[in-house]
Amino acid sequence: MLLALLQANAVVMDIEANHAIIDAAARDAAAAGAFVLVTPELFTVGYAPQRVRA
């Protein structure tokens, strides 16, 4: 099984933009034969858990 890893800069509090980054990475990974894309923890919220909580 081939794994793909995402290393990218997340946009703080822009969930739609971060989902677009993940979507593009997933498409690229699948095209390269990967079955799993691993993303950084909290990537979708841009590493701002305190802002999300508020």
Name 37's bridge partners: 4
* pLDDT score of 45: 83
Contact, 45 vs 18, CB < 8 A? yes
pLDDT tens sequence across 10-50: 998 899 999 999 999 999 999 999 999 999 988 988 877 66
Q: Would you call 19 helix, strand, or coil by DSSP?
A: helix
Q: Would you call 14 helix, strand, or coil by DSSP?
A: coil
Total domain count, the chain: 1
Domain that holds residue 43: 3-53
**Residue 53 predicted with pLDDT over 70:** no
